[in-house]
Structures are given as structure tokens and as C-alpha cells.
Structure 1
Amino acid sequence: MGERLAVVSGGGTGIGAAVARVLVSDGYDVLIVGRRADVLRTTADQIGADSGRPAAVVPVDADLTEPAGVERVAAAVDDRPVDVLVNNAGGYLGGDPATLTGTAAMWRANFDANVLTAVLLTQALGPRLRRPGGRVILLSSIAAQRGGGGPYSAAKAALHGWLYDLANEYGPQGITANVISPGFVEDTEFFGDRMTPEGYAKRVGATLVGRAGTPDDIAAAVRYLAGPHSGYVTGQVIGVNGGSVLGR
């Protein structure tokens, strides 16, 4: 068992799995959280085998929109200090906005998946964050900065406003809080079966570097923010998007 612990929500696939892999390689024990127990177990076993640290990744299946699910994660952490909390759970949830009832359901579902999951998990683990030296990282999206995703854009933008509260609260305790805002990242489940060759080409064409992002690109940014050289970086929205949205 390592001395440092990271918790990664949405850790079974895509960006979350890449984050877990890089943190394990840096010596962390990592607790990965998601709703699908089989996916989490497969990822944990694979990272453990590849790293030579079979017990380094602990899967916890939980619905983070529900307090009971968040309490399961807190129980799994037990009394260990949490060095890094990566709030990566979320995604775009569609619906039928043709009626007011459908619109309300769609917006609530996106808020719950992208905001409430992060709020509840951070509240539950906040007292366990290492002081000083803890790191809170929120995963947003360029949709928060340029629109285009309706309720998803609005939910991710809400994380930015909440970030500033977290940074103000935790800074005096030696804990940093930052947002990573990815652009188009391939090899994730985000688009499901919605992605077309035309849509892929359009998104790559919107970058300045002429390629899609990868989960490893985002994991590298997490590695920096989680590491010892980022202690003077807090309250920031860091774009990792190939230049598709320029910093302002």
C-alpha cells in the first residue's frame, strides 16, 4: 500500500482510467469510482497488472448523485488522508426537450451528473483532504466556454463558478483547487454512437494542432496539478484543447 491516496470519479474508462493509470505510475494508491462494477474491476485489474502493483487500484461502484453512494466512497477511503480528488464523473445526457416536463428532466439530469456528483463527493471527502498539500481537480469542457451543449454547457460552466469558492475556502489550508477544461478527446464513451466521420473531422479541424486530444493528454495535466510543483496554481481554469478555444 502506498503512502498517498487519490480518488478518481468516472474512473472506469476514458479520461478517468488514464488518470488512474498515471497516478498509479507516480506511486499513488487510487480509488476509482463509477456505476458499473464490472467495468471498474476490469480497469483496476488491468492497471494493477501493468504497473506491477496489483492492489494499487480499488474499484468502488457507486451512484454519486445519491448521498448513499457517496457515503460508500467515504467508507472505502476510511480514515486515510486523500491527497488528490479528481472529479471526472459526468457527461452529456440527452432527453426530449419538446415539453416543459422533458426539458426539466434533461436539465436536472445533466446538472446531477456533472455538478452534484462533484459537489457531494467533495463535501464528503473534504475533511479527509491532506492539509497542507491536498489537490482538488474538476473536469469541465470547452462547452462551458463556447456553448453548444445546452444543459451540458451550463452544468460544466457551473463548475467554474464553484471552483472559485473552493479555491478561496481551501487555499488558506494549503489545498489547491483547479478546473481542467478538455476539448475534443477521442477514445472515450462521451459521444457513444453519435460520432460520424464528418463530426470527427470538424472537431479536429477546429484545433490549431490538427489532431484530436487523447485521454493521456488530459491525464498529463492532472499529473501536473496533482504533483509537488503546482502548489502555486489554484483557482484556475486550464484549457487542454489543442487551441480550439483560446485562453482569455
Structure 2
Amino acid sequence: MTRIVLVTGGTSGLGRAVAERFAADGATVLVTGRHAGTVDRTAKELGVHGLVCDATDPAQVAALGTRLDAFAAPGGRGRLDVLVNAAGGLPEPASGGGSPLETLLAQWLSSLAQNLLGAVLTTAAVQDRLTPGSSVIGIGSIGAERRGGSYGAAKAALGSWNASLSAELAPRGVTCNLISAGFVAGTNFFRGGLTDERRAALVEETQNKRPGTPDDIAQTAHFLASPGARHITGQTIHVNGGAHTTR
């Protein structure tokens, strides 16, 4: 049976790599993004389905369930085999005019909305369509462990929520895990602000002395949704070349 995979933030960066990996496996993949142009282009390039959806907008997220019904048998209700909450990123630049505290609040609210609340809303909207054997996978960050500011705090909260979600869904046979990514080259995460010196420092922090790649994250996500990972749930999987180690 063909798997149904939903990847939020699937039009670029890690989300796109994850979508491409599942599509290569023959899955029916639905990617979401906030902009129609990038959603349409990604859908055509990867041979997947696209839907414009801002994961932080409850009304737009509510429509995801209806979109999944399009993949069901006539008259049936759409199921979901893999949900990958990949939407997120650094906080949006604050608009001018506010006080310093108002600007700080806007930054933190942006981080929480993009990196935590979008995943919470999306999962709540579709979790009744998850069946035994399904997987929920989130994309976290090494920033949750150090020097992460509002972004890191939001990713740390995402890990805490993942553990709680696993306790709720694991009795139904649904696994929930978080991939904590280290520095990954080949994305626009830093929005052009990464200097050569900072890049060298990030690579030097690793034990294998190389940056991560989007495929490193995509392959990990694919494994976590595989039969071999059915007893892995409630976990944060660190994929960072040893830049942050656990024991």
C-alpha cells in the first residue's frame, strides 16, 4: 500500500529534502508552504502534491484534513502514514515603530509560532487520521542545547512537546520523534548572513569535520518512519556530526 506523507515547510531546505526522499521511495507526498509560487514549483519538480498553508494559521491548517481525503478511495476518509513537521526557521525581522520590549515580544512570538505552535496545530489537525504504524517526525535544532536565543528556546519546547505527544499517541501504535539538526550546509537558514569565519567555526565543532547535508536529515527521517524504527519513540535524535553529544 502506498504511504501518504505530509511534509510542512516542504518547499525548501530540510523539508524539501525530506519530501524528495519519501517521493523517491514511491510514497504519495503532500508538501505545504506559505507561498503559491514555491509550492507549485516544488510540486512540479519533485512530482509531489502541493498545498498553500501557513502552519501557524488555524483556518488554513484545518483544511489539511480535507486535502488528505483526496488521496482516499471514493467515499473514504484520508489516512496519514507519516507527518513531518519541518516548517520553521529564525524569527521574522521585527517591523519598526515599537518599543524595545514590544520588539522583543514580537521576536519571541515569531519564534514560538514558527517552530512550536505550527507543529502543534498541524499535528492536532490530522492526528485522528494517523493509524497504527504511522510516524510523526519533527525537525529540531542544536540551538536548543546552546546559544539559541528565542529560536533555540522554541526548539527546546518542541522537544518537550514531542515527548508528551509520544506518550499520548504511542498506545495507538504511532511513533513520535524529533531530529535535532546541527549545522547543515546548502540551505538558506541564515538568510545570507553566515560569514566564512562562522561557517568554519561550526564545522570545527563537529567531530567528523564536515557540515551536515539536507540528505543527512532526510535519510534519518526516512529511517524513523521505517519498520526498523517502530520501537523508537519519544526521542530526540541528534544529527550533528558530534558537535553536541549525549550519553
- TM-score when scaled to structure 2? 0.93
* 1:51 counterpart residue number: none
User: Aligned partners of 1:28, 1:237: CA distance in 2, in Å?
Assistant: 25
User: Aligned partners of 1:162, 1:87: CA distance in 2, in Å?
Assistant: 13
**SS of the residue 2:186 aligns to:** coil
Of 93-102 and 220-229, more deviation after overlay is shown by 93-102
User: Aligned partners of 1:95, 1:8: CA distance in 2, in Å?
Assistant: 25
* 1:54 counterpart residue number: none
**SS of the residue 2:141 aligns to:** coil
Q: Does 1:13 align with 2:12?
A: yes
* 2:66 counterpart residue number: 75
Contact in 1 for aligned 2:65/2:78 (Cα 8 Å): no
**SS of the residue 2:106 aligns to:** helix
Task: Tell me the amino acid that sits aligned with residue 85 of structure 2.
Answer: N
Q: Does 1:163 align with 2:178?
A: no
* 1:101 counterpart residue number: 102
User: Aligned partners of 1:216, 1:43: CA distance in 2, in Å?
Assistant: 17
* 1:144 counterpart residue number: 144
Deviation of 1:98 (Å): 7.2
User: Aligned partners of 2:171, 2:45: CA distance in 1, in Å?
Assistant: 38
User: Aligned partners of 1:193, 1:241: CA distance in 2, in Å?
Assistant: 21
Contact in 2 for aligned 1:95/1:102 (Cα 8 Å): no
1:7-156 counterparts in 2 under 5 A?
7-48=6-47, 57-78=48-69, 79-95=77-93, 99-130=100-131, 132-145=132-145, 147-156=146-155
Task: Tell me the amino acid that sits aligned with residue 60 of structure 2.
Answer: G
User: Aligned partners of 1:34, 1:47: CA distance in 2, in Å?
Assistant: 14
User: Aligned partners of 2:93, 2:39: CA distance in 1, in Å?
Assistant: 27
**SS of the residue 2:209 aligns to:** coil
User: Aligned partners of 2:67, 2:182: CA distance in 1, in Å?
Assistant: 32
Q: Which runs of 4+ in 1 moved over 2 A?
A: 94-98
Task: Tell me the amino acid that sits aligned with residue 100 of structure 2.
Answer: T
Task: Tell me the amino acid that sits aligned with residue 143 of structure 1.
Answer: G
* 2:74 counterpart residue number: none
User: Please, what is the CA RMSD of the aligned residues?
Assistant: 1.4
Deviation track 1:193-234 (CA, whole Å, cap 9, x = no partner) reads: 101111111111111111111100000000100111110100
**SS of the residue 1:203 aligns to:** helix
**SS of the residue 2:227 aligns to:** coil
User: Aligned partners of 1:28, 1:107: CA distance in 2, in Å?
Assistant: 36
Task: Tell me the amino acid that sits aligned with residue 46 of structure 1.
Answer: E
User: Aligned partners of 1:44, 1:232: CA distance in 2, in Å?
Assistant: 32
**SS of the residue 2:16 aligns to:** helix
Q: Percent identity?
A: 43
User: Aligned partners of 1:240, 1:202: CA distance in 2, in Å?
Assistant: 17
User: Aligned partners of 2:92, 2:51: CA distance in 1, in Å?
Assistant: 26
Deviation of 1:72 (Å): 2.4
5+ residue gaps, structure 2: 70-76
Deviation of 1:62 (Å): 1.0
**SS of the residue 2:237 aligns to:** strand
**SS of the residue 2:244 aligns to:** coil
Task: Tell me the amino acid that sits aligned with residue 80 of structure 1.
Answer: G
- TM-score when scaled to structure 1? 0.92
Deviation track 1:19-45 (CA, whole Å, cap 9, x = no partner) reads: 011101112100001101111221221
Deviation track 1:156-213 (CA, whole Å, cap 9, x = no partner) reads: 0001111111111111100000010000001112111101111111111111111111
Task: Tell me the amino acid that sits aligned with residue 105 of structure 2.
Answer: A
Deviation of 1:3 (Å): 2.4
User: Aligned partners of 1:3, 1:139: CA distance in 2, in Å?
Assistant: 24
* 2:73 counterpart residue number: none
Of 215-224 and 93-102, more deviation after overlay is shown by 93-102
1:157-236 counterparts in 2 under 5 A?
157-236=156-235
Count of residue pairs brought into register by the alignment: 237
Task: Tell me the amino acid that sits aligned with residue 138 of structure 1.
Answer: G
Deviation track 1:129-173 (CA, whole Å, cap 9, x = no partner) reads: 12x10100011000112x212100100000111111111111110
